[in-house]
Amino acid sequence: MTRYAPVFFLFALFSAPALAADPPKVPPYKAVSTEAEALARIEELGGVVRKAGDAGLEVDFHHTGAAITDDHLQYLLSLKAVAVLRLKETAVTDAGLAHVGKLTGLRRLYLEKTAITDAGLKQLTGLKELEYLNLFGTKVTDAGVAQLKALPKLAQLFVAETPVTAAGIVAFQKAAPGVRVVPDPAQERERAKSALETAKTAVVNAEEALATAEKDAAELAPKAAQLKKELDDSTKLLNDAKKAADELKKKADDATKRFKDGGGDKAKKDADESRQRADDAQKAAQAIQTKTDQLRQQSARAGNAKKRAEDAKLALDAARRSEADARKLLDESR
Amino acid sequence: MSQPLLRRRDLLKLSAAGLLSGASVPWFESLAAAAPALKKPRGKSCILLWMDGGPSQQHTFDPKPNGEFKAAKTAVPGIHIVEQLPQLGQCMDDMVLLRSMKTEINDHYDAKYYLHTGYKRASAFEHPAVGCIASSQLGLPNDDLPAFVTIDAGSDKVNGGRFYRSVPAYLGPQHAPLAVHDPYKGLENLKESGGDLADRLELLGSGEAQFAKEYPLPAVGAKQAAFDRAVRLMRSKRAKAFDLEQESEKTREEYGAHKFGQSCLLARRLVEAGVSFVEVFHRGWDDHEGAAKRIAARAPWMDAGMSALIRDLKQRGMLDDTLVVWMGEFGRSPGDGGGHFCNAWSTAWAGGGLKTGQVIGKTSETGKNAGGTVTERPISAPDYIATLCLALGIDIHQEFTAAGNRPMPLADKTAKPITEILK
Amino acid sequence: MPSTPRIVVALALALLTAPAVRADDPLLERDVLPVLTKQCLGCHGGLRQKGGLDLRTVPAMLKGGESGPAVKARDAAASEMWKRIESDEMPPNDKKLTAAEKAAIKGWIAAGMPTVAQRQKDADPLLATGKKHDPKEVAATIDTHLDKVLNVAKLKPAGRSEDAEFLRRVYLDLTGRVPTAEQAAGFLDSKDADKRAKLIDALLATPQYGEQFGRTWRDWICPPELPSDANGGKQPHTEAQNLGKWLGTRFAAGDPWDAIARDVLTAEGDIKSKPQVIFFALSGEGGKATPAGSARATASLFMGVQFQCAECHDDPYRAWSQKEHWALAAFFAKTTGDFGKVSESRGGGRPEITIPKSAFKNAGNNVPAAFLGEKSPAVKGDALRPAFAEWLTAKDNPYFARAFANRLWFYFFSRGIVNPVDDFRELNPPSHPGLMKLLANEFADSGFDVKHLVRCICNSEAYQRTSRVAAGADEQAVAAMTANFGRMPLRVMTADVLLDSLKLAYGDPKLDLRAIDPKDGNANGESAPVAEPYLEFLRRFGTNEDDATDFTHGIPQMLAMINHPRLLAGSNLLDAKLKAKPAPGADEVVEFLYLSTLSRRPTAAEKAAADRYLKKAPDPTKGYNGVLWMLVNRTEYLLVR
C-alpha cells in the first residue's frame, strides 16, 4: 500500500526558504562496503550510472560540477567493472587519479577542464585497457603526454587547448604510432594549405570581378542614359513586332480553319502564305527580343556598375584578409 | 516508451467496472514494474541541421559533370563536392554522404512529416518525430534539461510550405521539444524578471506547502516538481549552455557571424550540457527560381558553420558520441534545381562513431538528366530513420502503443538500415 | 426514495441468483480480457484468426476453431485454451503468461465464465422513462445510485466541497474562466440556502457558457495542428475557431443537441454562411472530406463508437467489422468538402461505397449503406446524409443520447461512465450501467436539452463533492473511490481556460505570453514557428485531453509563468482598485487579489506572509504586483479543485 511519499518530500523543499539560497551541501565521502551502497552514494551526489556495452558500467559525473572531489572517487572501487568514467569539469585533481588508476578495466576516461597535471597522468599508466583519454582544456604538457606511450591499448588522445605543443604531439606519435591524436599537426597543415588555396582562388575571383566592374563603370556607366533610351525604343519595337506577329498568326489560323472547313486549293494557298508570313513575323519578333534582352542586360550593368565596383572592392579586401589569415594559419602549423 | 503489461490507470478502470470488488486484487501489485537499478546505455547525441524547403543536391553534395557548380576535391580521395563548400571538403574524412535518397513525396509538409517520422501522414493519428523518439529513448526522466531542443536559425526567404512542428504523439507530452526561437537570446524566460525572486519564492513557498498537505496527489507533486526543476535550471550551470556570450570571440568567429553558424555553436553547447537531440532549422531553401545564385550566397555561412561544428566536436573528443545530420525534406531537380525532387537526393552525416569517409549510393552521372535517378542502393525514408535511430543506439524493434491499443513499431518493419556505415 | 429498494434488491438478486459465483470471481471484461488483449488477440482476434480461432467474445470461444471449442464452462482441465496456456505452448513467443494471469484464466473458466455484461443486463434505469424530470429529482437519483454502489464496494464517499471550492470549479466548468473578485465575494457572502443551484442557473444563461462548451467540442472535433498541406497551404485555424464559436452560440441559445447534430451532419454550402461545413474537411485527409474520415468522426463524436481500426480490416480487439465501418461511410460517399465548402452530388444509384485501395483488405468490394447494427436502410439514393442524421437523432436511437451523456459526464468528472469515452461496446461495459441508462433516457426524454442535463449533473452531490484527500490515505483506495465517483478529481486547467482566467486576473483581454517579439520577424506566415498569441498559448499550455488529472507541463511552461515580464507587470484591475476612494488598505487589496485568482479569501497565515512580503517591497504597487505573480504561480491556481 503506497502512501504519497514523494509529495511530502517536496513539501519539505518548499517549506524552507532554502530554495532561494545555495544548493544543499554535498555529502562528504563515507566508506561503503557493498556495490549497492556505492551506487546509492554516487546517485546521491548527482552521478549517473549506466550500462556500457556488454560488460561494464559507465559512471557519469558530468553535471555534478564542483561537488565531486578526489575522495568521492573511492566509491568507484566498490563497483564491478567500471568501463567508462566521465569527470569533465569536476573538482578532481591529481590525487583523485590515484583512485582512478586502480580501475583496471577502464576503457574510456574523460578529464576535460579538470585541474589535473602531468603528475596525475603518471598514475594512469597502469590502465592496460584504456582506449580513449580526453585531456581537453587541462594543464598537461609534452612531458606528461610522453608518459602515455606506456598505455598498450590507447587509440584516441585529445589534447586541444592544453600547453602541449605540435612538436610534443609529433614526438608522441612517433613513440606510439597507433594512437590518433587530436589535434593532429599533419592534418592541421593540410587544412591550412587547403584554406590558403581557397583564399587565393577567392582573391583571384574577386580581382576579376573588380576588373569587370571597373571596366563597366568606366565604359558603360557614362552611356547609361543612352542605353536606357535604346532599351525603351527596342522594347517599344518589340511590342509592336509581337503585336504584328500575333495578328498574323491569327490570320494564319483563320486561313487554316477555312481550308480545313472545306476550302479548295486557293484556300490552301492562302493558308500556306499566311502561315509563312506569320512565321516570318515571329522570327523577326524573336530577333528583336534577343536584341532587347541584350540591351536590357547592358543597361542593367551600366546602371549598377558603380555599386558593383564598390561591392567588388569590399569583397576583394575581405578575400585578401582571408588569404592573410590562411597564410598565418599555415605558418603557425609548421 | 513501450508500455508495461497494463497501465495502472487501466487496472483501476477495470476494477471499477467490477462493482463487487473494492479491495485490491493481489495480482495488481505484481504488475508494478520494478525500477531498473541501472539506467540504459547512454546512446549518442544528435544534431540535426534541417534545411527547410529542399536543398539542391547538385549544388551541394552531389555535383555533376556539366552541372552549374563545379566539383572540387575533398580530404578523401575520390569524393568530390561542390567547390563552394571547401571547409566541409576538408572534413570529409569524418563525414558520410548518402546520395541515393529516394523518398516518394514531393509535397512540402507531407515530405517533412515523412522524413521526420519515417511514416506517411495518416489521418487517424500522428506519429512521433525522430527528435521526440530520441528524447524518450535516450533522455533521462526528470532531468533539469529537456532531452530535445529545436533552434530557429532564421530564414533568408519565407518559403517552403507549412512549418513542421515535431510532436511526441503517443510518446507523451513530456517529450515535446523545447524551442529556442533566437539563438542570440537563448532560452526564453530563463532570466529572472523583477529583482526580488527570492522573496517572491518565499512568499509562494508557504502557500504551496499548505496546499500540498491538503491535496497530496500526483498532479500537485508533478506541478511542484516541474516548478522546482525550472527554478533549479535558472540557477544551474547547465542553463548557461543556452548563453552564447559564454564562448570566446574567437570561437564565435570560427562558426561565422551568421545565425546558422551561431545556432550550430549553441547546438554544440547544448549537447555538452546533456541534451540528446538538437534540431537546428533554417528555412528558405525552396529555390524555385533556380538554386545557383541562392546557394552560392548561402554556401559561405553554411560551410563555415557546419565545418566549425564538426571540427569543434572533434577537438573536444565529442565527435564519436555526437551524430551530425544535414538534410532537407527532398532534393531539387537536376540541372538548375528549380523544382522539388524526391527521386534522387543527398543527405550528409558526420561523426557519431560511424564508418566515415565514404559515400553511400550513386546517382546517374551522364545524359541530359544527370543525377535524375538512383543507380545504386536507394534509401527510403524508413531506411533513413531506422539508420539514424540505430546510429544513436536506439532499439528499432521496439513497439509503442498508440490510441486504441494499436501497436506501433518505432521503425517501419520494411526499413532496411544502412549497416555499412555503422560500426 | 422509491428507487432505493429496487437497486438493493437488484444487486442482492444478482448476488444470490448467480449460481455459485462468489464476489471475487474473475470476470471476463475485468480480469481475463486484458490478458487476452495483450497476449492473444493479435493472432486470435479481428485481424487474424490463426487456427480459425477468435477469442474476442465468449460465443466465439465456445465456437472455437480448428481444434474445436476453446473453452468448456466450469471445466478448465477439458478446455483446450487452458491446456495450451498452462503448458506454455501458447503464446508461441518469449512472453509467456505469468502465474497470476494463468490463475485468472483458470479461475474464470472454473467459475463458468462470468461476464460483467451479464450482470449488468438487467440494470435498473432508476427513473420512469418517457418524460423529463425535475433536475433536482434526477440529481438526487444520481446520488442515491452512486452511494449505493460505493456502499456495496465498502468505500466511503468524500464530503461536500466548501463554497470556495465549488464556486471556482463551477465557474471554470460552466464558463471556462474564474469568477471576478466581485462575483466570488458575492457568492461566498450570500446566505441563500439555494445559492449553488441558483449559481448554476445563472452561469448557464451566460454567453461564456456557450463559448466554453463550443471550444471544448471544437477541440474534440479537430486536433490543434490541423491537417493542411500542399505548398503554401493555409491552415484553417480561424475557420476552426469559428466552428467553435458557432457551436457556442447554439449551446448558449439552448438549442437541442439533435438539432445541432443534424445541422452539422447535413450541412451543405459555403463556410461563410455555414461555419459547420468545416467539420468534414477537418475529419478528412489533406484538407478534403473523405467518407472514412467523416464516418470515423461521426462515430466517435456522436455515437460513442471507435472506428479507426475497422477502416482497413476487422478491428482486432473490438467486435466491429470492416463491413460495418464502410456501411456507415457509405452515407458520406457522395459528400465532397474542403476548408471552404461542402457539397453533395445528387443522382441516383444504390447508396453504396467501394472500399478504396488504401484499405488493407477487401479493396474493391462494394458495401451498401447501412445503419450501424441494422441491415440496409430504406433510403432513396438522393438524401443519404439527411437519412442518416434522421436515424441518428431519433429518440430511440441506441447510440446518440448515451454518447453525449457519457461525454458530458467525462467532461465534469474527468472519467466517463464508459472509458475510453467513445468506446461503447459489449465487452467494455459501463462502470455504472444504471447511471448510464438514467442519463441517456433523461437526455432523450428532455428533447436532447443540453442545459437540462448539465443542471441534472451539476446539482448532484456527486459533482459537488470535495476533491480533498485525507493525509496518509491509501493511494489505491482513493483511486478506487474517485473512479466510482465518490470524490471529485483534481484537474488541470486546459489552455483555453487558463488563458481566459489569466486575462481576467490581469484585466487584459490582449494578454500575450509569446516567447518572442513579433518585431523580430519570426512570426511571418504559416512557415513561421510562432504565429499569433492565442495559437501559441494553446500550443505551449496544451494538456492531456484523455486525462484531465494528468499534469503534463514542464520546464518551458513553468519558466514562462515564473519569468515572463507580463505576469509581473501588474493588472489594470489592480490599478483601478488602488485608485478607488477611499484608498483601500493592504488587507483589502490582498483579499481582492486572492478573490480574483483563487476565488477565495486568504487565510490568516497567508495574510501574514503577504504582509511580510509587502513590507519589503520598494513601493506598494510593485508589492501588489508581486503578490499577484505569486497567486498565478500557485499550484492551486493552475488546478481545478
Full set of structural domains in chain B with CATH: 39-186+243-421 (3.40.720), 191-237 (no CATH)
The Cα B391–Cα B321 span in angstroms is 10
- State percent of chain C over pLDDT 70: 88
Residues on chain B touching C636 (C-beta within 8 angstroms): 207, 211
A103 and A223 belong to one structural domain = no
B195 in contact with A, Cβ within 8 Å: no
Interface with chain A: mutation pick from B8, B42, B251, highest number of A CBs within 10 Å: B42
Is residue A274 in a domain? yes
A52 in contact with B, Cβ within 8 Å: yes
Interface with chain A: mutation pick from B88, B246, B316, B319, highest number of A CBs within 10 Å: B316
Q: What is the CATH number of the domain that holds A104?
A: 3.80.10.10
Is residue A178 in a domain? no
The Cα C584–Cα B93 span in angstroms is 74
Domain boundary among A141, A173, A208: A141
Q: Which residues touch B225 (CB under 8 Å, ≥6 apart)?
A: A6, A10, B142
Helix, strand, coil shares of chain B, percent, nearest 5, are 40, 15, 45
Residues on chain B touching A195 (C-beta within 8 angstroms): 86-87, 90
Contact A60 B220 (CB under 8 A): no
Higher-pLDDT residue of B329, C103: B329
What pLDDT, on a 0 to 100 scale, did the predictor assign at position B359? 97
Assign C500 a pLDDT band (cuts: 50, 70, 90): very high
Q: Which residues touch A291 (CB under 8 Å, ≥6 apart)?
A: A234
Residue A334 has pLDDT above 80, yes or no: no
Is residue A93 in a domain? yes
Q: Which residues touch C478 (CB under 8 Å, ≥6 apart)?
A: C469, C487
B36 in contact with A, Cβ within 8 Å: no
pLDDT mean over C361-375: 80
Give residue-wise pLDDT tens across range A231-281.
999 999 999 999 999 999 898 888 888 888 887 888 888 888 989 999 999
Kindly identify which residue of chain C lies nearest to residue B5, measuring between CA atoms: C38
A interface residues, C as partner, C-beta within 8 Å: 1-4
**Residue C588 CB neighbour total at 10 angstroms:** 12
Question: How many angstroms separate the CA of residue A1 from the nearest CA in chain C?
Answer: 6
Question: How many angstroms separate the CA of residue B122 from the nearest CA in chain A?
Answer: 37
pTM of structure: 0.74
The Cα A7–Cα A4 span in angstroms is 6
Residues on chain B touching C539 (C-beta within 8 angstroms): 165
Q: Up-side HSE of residue C345: CA atoms within 13 Å toward CB?
A: 10
Is residue A147 in a domain? no
A126 and A197 belong to one structural domain = no
The Cα B176–Cα B166 span in angstroms is 7
Give residue-wise pLDDT tens across range B202-247.
999 989 999 998 898 888 988 998 898 889 888 887 888 999 999 9
Residue B334 has pLDDT above 80, yes or no: yes
pLDDT mean over C160-164: 96
Residue A43 has pLDDT above 60, yes or no: yes
pLDDT mean over C270-280: 91
- Across chain C, mean pLDDT equals 85
Size of interface B-C (CB pairs under 8 A): 286
**With contact defined as beta carbons under 8 Å apart, do B44 and B323 qualify?**
yes
Is residue A171 in a domain? no
| Structural domains in chain A (count) | 2
Ramachandran region of residue B24, left (φ > 0), alpha (ψ -120 to 50) or beta? beta
Question: How many angstroms separate the CA of residue C474 from the nearest CA in chain A?
Answer: 6
Identify the weakest region by mean pLDDT among A222-231, B167-176, B375-384.
Answer: B167-176
Strand partners, C640: C491
All cell numbers assigned to C557: 511552461
Assign B45 a pLDDT band (cuts: 50, 70, 90): very high
- From the list A11, A20, A58, the residue facing B213 with the nearest CB is A11
Residues on chain C touching A20 (C-beta within 8 angstroms): none
Contact A134 B317 (CB under 8 A): yes
A121 in contact with B, Cβ within 8 Å: no
Domain boundary among A141, A159, A181: A141
Contact B193 C564 (CB under 8 A): yes
What pLDDT, on a 0 to 100 scale, did the predictor assign at position B137? 92
**With contact defined as beta carbons under 8 Å apart, do C116 and C30 qualify?**
yes
A206 and A290 belong to one structural domain = yes
C153 in contact with B, Cβ within 8 Å: yes
Q: Among candidates C421, C326, C309, which has minimal Cα distance to C45?
A: C309
Residues on chain C touching A1 (C-beta within 8 angstroms): 474-476
Give residue-wise pLDDT tens across range C150-161.
887 788 899 999
All cell numbers assigned to B307: 565545418
The Cα C288–Cα C269 span in angstroms is 15
Domain boundary among A83, A115, A141: A141
What do you get for the CA distance between the two ends of chain B, in Å? 26
Residue B12 has pLDDT above 50, yes or no: no
Backbone angles phi, psi at B82, to 5 degrees: -65, 150
Residue B32 has pLDDT above 70, yes or no: no
Identify the weakest region by mean pLDDT among C229-238, C297-306, C402-411, C412-421.
Answer: C229-238
Give residue-wise pLDDT tens across range B78-99.
999 999 999 999 999 999 999 9
A195 and A325 belong to one structural domain = yes
Contact B179 C617 (CB under 8 A): no
Residue C20 has pLDDT above 70, yes or no: no
Is residue A163 in a domain? no
What pLDDT, on a 0 to 100 scale, did the predictor assign at position B35? 34
Instruction: Name the CA dihedral angle for C385, C391, C392, C393, rounded to a multiple of 10 degrees.
Output: 110
A130 and A256 belong to one structural domain = no
Higher-pLDDT residue of C205, B14: C205
pLDDT mean over A124-140: 95
- From the list C292, C483, C617, the residue facing B13 with the nearest CB is C483
Contact A14 B212 (CB under 8 A): yes
**With contact defined as beta carbons under 8 Å apart, do B412 and B118 qualify?**
yes
What pLDDT, on a 0 to 100 scale, did the predictor assign at position B11? 37
Range B286-299 burial, b when 16+ CB lie within 10 A, else e: bbbebbbebbeebb
**With contact defined as beta carbons under 8 Å apart, do B102 and B380 qualify?**
yes
Q: Tell me which DSSP letter residue C566 carries.
A: G
Q: Which of the other chains make 3 or more beta carbon contacts under 8 angstroms with chain B? A: A, C
Residue A37 has pLDDT above 80, yes or no: yes
**With contact defined as beta carbons under 8 Å apart, do B114 and B105 qualify?**
yes
Identify the weakest region by mean pLDDT among A11-25, A86-100, C173-187, C443-457.
Answer: A11-25
Is residue A183 in a domain? no
Q: Tell me which DSSP letter residue C519 carries.
A: G
pLDDT mean over B357-361: 96
A253 and A197 belong to one structural domain = yes
A303 and A206 belong to one structural domain = yes
Q: Is the peptide bond between C91 and the residue preceding it cis, with omega within 30 degrees of 0?
A: yes
B268 in contact with A, Cβ within 8 Å: no
Residue C10 has pLDDT above 70, yes or no: no
A20 in contact with B, Cβ within 8 Å: yes
Q: How far is CA B198 from CA A98, B194, C75, C185, C526, in A?
A: 42, 11, 70, 31, 40
ipTM: 0.83
Residue C124 has pLDDT above 90, yes or no: no
A239 and A324 belong to one structural domain = yes
All cell numbers assigned to C363: 479493396
Residue C373 has pLDDT above 90, yes or no: no
Q: Which of the other chains make 3 or more beta carbon contacts under 8 angstroms with chain C? A: A, B
Residues on chain B touching C228 (C-beta within 8 angstroms): 109, 162
The amino acid at A317: D
Q: Among candidates C212, C240, C215, C213, which has minimal Cα distance to C226?
A: C240
**With contact defined as beta carbons under 8 Å apart, do C601 and C609 qualify?**
no
A61 and A122 belong to one structural domain = yes
Residue B26 has pLDDT above 60, yes or no: no
Contact C309 B200 (CB under 8 A): no
Cα Rg of chain B, angstroms:
24
Residues on chain C touching B163 (C-beta within 8 angstroms): 526-529
The Cα C323–Cα C370 span in angstroms is 10
What pLDDT, on a 0 to 100 scale, did the predictor assign at position C460? 97
The Cα C506–Cα C499 span in angstroms is 11
Is residue A245 in a domain? yes
Residue spans of alpha helices (H) in C111-256: 116-120, 135-152, 163-175, 181-189, 195-204, 207-221, 237-253
**With contact defined as beta carbons under 8 Å apart, do C391 and C379 qualify?**
no
Give residue-wise pLDDT tens across range B306-328.
999 999 999 999 999 999 999 99
Contact B317 A156 (CB under 8 A): yes
Give residue-wise pLDDT tens across range C558-607.
999 999 999 999 899 999 999 988 889 999 999 999 999 999 999 999 99
> Which run of H or of E encompasses B13?
helix B8-17
Contact C474 A4 (CB under 8 A): no
All cell numbers assigned to C18: 448467480
Residue C144 has pLDDT above 80, yes or no: yes
Q: Among candidates C13, A11, C40, which has minimal Cα distance to B223?
A: A11
Interface with chain C: mutation pick from B156, B162, B182, highest number of C CBs within 10 Å: B162
Instruction: Tell me the residue range of the domain where A111 lies.
Output: 17-141
Residue B22 has pLDDT above 60, yes or no: no
The Cα B247–Cα B231 span in angstroms is 24
User: Read out DSSP for B211-266?
Assistant: HHHH---HHHHHHHHHHHHHHHHHHSGGGGGG-GGGS-HHHHHHH-SSHHHHHHHH
**Residue C505 CB neighbour total at 10 angstroms:** 25
